[in-house]
C-alpha cells in the first residue's frame, strides 16, 4: 500500500507520516524543498523524499501527473490552497488505483461565529479568500464524488499548534513577544473585552483525524471533519491561563479596537488579530469523535503550552 503526502514536513505531516509508516504504508513525502519535519522520529528513515515545487509544476501542468505516476493508494493533500490546484490534482488522479484522497481544508470554511460551537452541518459563510477557496475546493470534491465516485474526505483543522513553530497568542496574532511579555510578568493589551475565541489543536491530534479517516474509509468518504481541541478558549481566558502558567500575576488592559491597534507591533499583526476576532473560532469535534473515534490527546492549553515551551527552548522568546 502506497501513501503520498503532499506538504509532508509541515505541522500535520510531521505527525501523520510516522503514523502511516507504523501502520505499514510505503510513504512518499512530497515537499518543495529539503526541509526536515519539525520533530524527527525514526520512522522518517523509511520515507521516500521527493522534491516538487507545486506551483511551478502546476504552471507546467505536470504536478498531478507526477503524483499519479507514483501510483498511490492514498493521497493526503496538505497544501492545496486554491480550487484550481485541487482540480488539477484530482483530474490527474482519476482513472488511477487511488482509493482515498484526503484534503486539508480549514475551520475558516466557516465565517463569523453565529451558532456556537459551529459544526459540520452548519452552512458555510466564509469571510475571506482563504475560506472561500477551501469551500470551493470541497464543493468541487463533493461534485466529483457524486458524479464520478471520486473518493475524498476533507479535514478542517483549527489553529495548528505544537513544538517547533509559533502559535497564535492571546492577542489573536503570531507575535511571539506577547508570550515573552507574559512570561516576564509585563502588561499586555487585549482588544474589546477579550471574549472572542480562538481554537487551537495540537498537530498530532490533526494527524489523528487524518489517520482515523484513512482507517475508516467507508464512513469517511464524502464527509468533512473538524479537527479541533475539545474546547475553544476566549482571549481573556487564554491570557489569564498563560500568566498563571508562567507563575505571574495577570496584568491585562482591555482596549477598544482603535486604541488597541496602536499597541500592536505591526500591521500584519493587526490584520491577523482582526481575522481571528471576526471569526471568533469555536467549533465542535463531536462528528470526528462519533464517526471516526477521534480521541483528542491534548486540551487546548496543553497544546499551547507545548508550543510555548518550545519557543522558549529555541530562544524565540526570553522570559528571564
- Beta pairing class for 152-157 and 100-104: parallel
If one counts every other C-beta atom within 10 angstroms of the C-beta of residue 139, the result is: 12
In the bound state with other proteins, the residue whose beta carbon lies nearer, of 20 and 233, is 233
Stretch that binds other proteins, among 23-31, 85-93, 275-283, 303-311 (CB under 8 A): 275-283
DSSP state of 178: H
256 near other proteins, judged by CB under 8 A: yes
Q: In the complex, what is the shortest distance from the CB of residue 217 to other proteins, in angstroms, rounded to a whole number?
A: 29
Q: In the complex, what is the shortest distance from the CB of residue 284 to other proteins, in angstroms, rounded to a whole number?
A: 9
Q: Which residues pair with 141 in a beta bridge?
A: none
Stretch that binds other proteins, among 11-19, 78-86, 274-282, 287-295 (CB under 8 A): 274-282
Stretch that binds other proteins, among 44-52, 63-71, 229-237, 302-310 (CB under 8 A): 229-237
Considering only residues 43, 58, 84, 240, which one is a binding residue for other proteins as defined by CB under 8 A?
A: 240
3-state secondary structure of 54: helix
Distance separating alpha carbons of residues 61 and 55, to the nearest angstrom: 10
Joined grid coordinates for residue 91: 483530474
Distance separating alpha carbons of residues 297 and 228, to the nearest angstrom: 11
Cis peptide before 153 (omega within 30 of 0): no
In the bound state with other proteins, the residue whose beta carbon lies nearer, of 57 and 240, is 240
Distance separating alpha carbons of residues 89 and 79, to the nearest angstrom: 11
Q: In the complex, what is the shortest distance from the CB of residue 301 to other proteins, in angstroms, rounded to a whole number?
A: 8
Considering only residues 33, 34, 60, 115, which one is a binding residue for other proteins as defined by CB under 8 A?
A: 115
Q: What is the 3-state secondary structure (H, E, C) of 25-65?
A: CEEEEEECCCCCCCCCCHHHHHCEEEECCHHHHHHCCCHHH
Structural contact between residues 279 and 112, judged by C-beta atoms closer than 8 angstroms = yes
Among 13, 165, 164, CA closest to 77: 13
In the bound state with other proteins, the residue whose beta carbon lies nearer, of 77 and 205, is 205
Q: In the complex, what is the shortest distance from the CB of residue 249 to other proteins, in angstroms, rounded to a whole number?
A: 16
Binding to other proteins in span 41-80, by CB under 8 A: none
In the bound state with other proteins, the residue whose beta carbon lies nearer, of 121 and 267, is 121
Distance separating alpha carbons of residues 216 and 193, to the nearest angstrom: 42
In the bound state with other proteins, the residue whose beta carbon lies nearer, of 196 and 224, is 196
Distance separating alpha carbons of residues 181 and 138, to the nearest angstrom: 40
Binding to other proteins in span 154-193, by CB under 8 A: 192-193
Considering only residues 232, 285, 311, 317, which one is a binding residue for other proteins as defined by CB under 8 A?
A: 232
114 near other proteins, judged by CB under 8 A: yes
Considering only residues 60, 249, 258, 267, which one is a binding residue for other proteins as defined by CB under 8 A?
A: 258
Amino acid at each position: 500500500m502506497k501513501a503520498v503526502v503532499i506538504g509532508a514536513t509541515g505541522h500535520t505531516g510531521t505527525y501523520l507520516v510516522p503514523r502511516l509508516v507504523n501502520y505499514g504504508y510505503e510513504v512518499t513525502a512530497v515537499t518543495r524543498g529539503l526541509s526536515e519535519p519539525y520533530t524527527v522520529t525514526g520512522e522518517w528513515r523509511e520515507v521516500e523524499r521527493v522534491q516538487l515545487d507545486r506551483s511551478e509544476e502546476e504552471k507546467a501542468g505536470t504536478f498531478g501527473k507526477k503524483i499519479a505516476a507514483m501510483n498511490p493508494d492514498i493521497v493526503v493533500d496538505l497544501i492545496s490552497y486554491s480550487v484550481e490546484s485541487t482540480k488539477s490534482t484530482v483530474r490527474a488522479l482519476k482513472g488511477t488505483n487511488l482509493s482515498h484522497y484526503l484534503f486539508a481544508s480549514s475551520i475558516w470554511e466557516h465565517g463569523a461565529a453565529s451558532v456556537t460551537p459551529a459544526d459540520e452541518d452548519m452552512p458555510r459563510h466564509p469571510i475571506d479568500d482563504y475560506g472561500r477557496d477551501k469551500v470551493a475546493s470541497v464543493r468541487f470534491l463533493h461534485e466529483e464524488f457524486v458524479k464520478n465516485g471520486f473518493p475524498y474526505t476533507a479535514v478542517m483543522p483549527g489553529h495548528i499548534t505544537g513544538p517547533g513553530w509559533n502559535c497564535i497568542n492571546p492577542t489573536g496574532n503570531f507575535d511571539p513577544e506577547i508570550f515573552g511579555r507574559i512570561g516576564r510578568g509585563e502588561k499586555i493589551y487585549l482588544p474589546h473585552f477579550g471574549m472572542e475565541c480562538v481554537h487551537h489543536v495540537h498537530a498530532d491530534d490533526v494527524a489523528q483525524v487524518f489517520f482515523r479517516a484513512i482507517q475508516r474509509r467507508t464512513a469517511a468518504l464524502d464527509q468533512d471533519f473538524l479537527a479541533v481541541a475539545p474546547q475553544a478558549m476566549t482571549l481573556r481566558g487564554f491570557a489569564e491561563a498563560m500568566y498563571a502558567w508562567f507563575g505571574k500575576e495577570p496584568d491585562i488592559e482591555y482596549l477598544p479596537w482603535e486604541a488597541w491597534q496602536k499597541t500592536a507591533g505591526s500591521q500584519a499583526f493587526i490584520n491577523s488579530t482582526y481575522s481571528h476576532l471576526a471569526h471568533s473560532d469555536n467549533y465542535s469535534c463531536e462528528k470526528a469523535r462519533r464517526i471516526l473515534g477521534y480521541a483528542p490527546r491534548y486540551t487546548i492549553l496543553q497544546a499551547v503550552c507545548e508550543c510555548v515551551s518550545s519557543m522558549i527552548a529555541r530562544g524565540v522568546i526570553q522570559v528571564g
